[in-house]
Copies of this chain bind each other. A is one copy, B any other.
Amino acid sequence: MSKRSLVYLFKHAGLRLGELIGPALEPYGIDGREFGVLSVLAGPEPLSQLEAAQRLGIDRTTMVAMVDTLERKRLVARRPDPADRRRNMVELTGHGREVLAGAGRAVDAAEEEFLGPLPGGDARALRAALDRLIPPHPA
């Protein structure tokens, strides 16, 4: 009965991974949350602030501050949607794409380091299992 709970394992997995990713992103001037936003915005179709927030599972008011920060860093730009002027489309700048490319490699390396103790097949299975357990962005 001394089995550690799943919540504990998930929490500490996130913590340890975050400890690896934070320093790995430092050269790029962004943190893990900002990287998450950039990744989502780099997708094929352009996203509004609200859409980006929903894909990340964060509140739209939280997204405001994130986009503020990223815009100050010249990594993204807001552009009102001509078809619905209530919406702010958020797009990566050229600089933003460059930073994301490098940061993405750094994050991949950090993930690999984290998964290092596992045989390659187990690591892939872990990711596949989590992918199956966590439903994709809510519409």
List the interface of chain A (C-beta within 8 A of B): 2-18, 21, 32, 35-36, 39, 43, 56-57, 107, 111, 114-115, 117-118, 122-123, 125-127, 129-134
CB <8 Å contact, A5 and B111: yes
Copies in the complex: 2
CB <8 Å contact, A130 and B5: no
| Inter-chain contacts of A11 with B (CB < 8 A) | 14
CB <8 Å contact, A13 and B134: yes
Known: A14-B14, A15-B57, A57-B15. Contact between A9 and B127, CB under 8 A? yes
CB <8 Å contact, B127 and A122: no
**7 nearest A-B residue pairs (beta carbon):** A10-B14, A9-B130, A126-B129, A10-B13, A12-B134, A6-B111, A10-B10
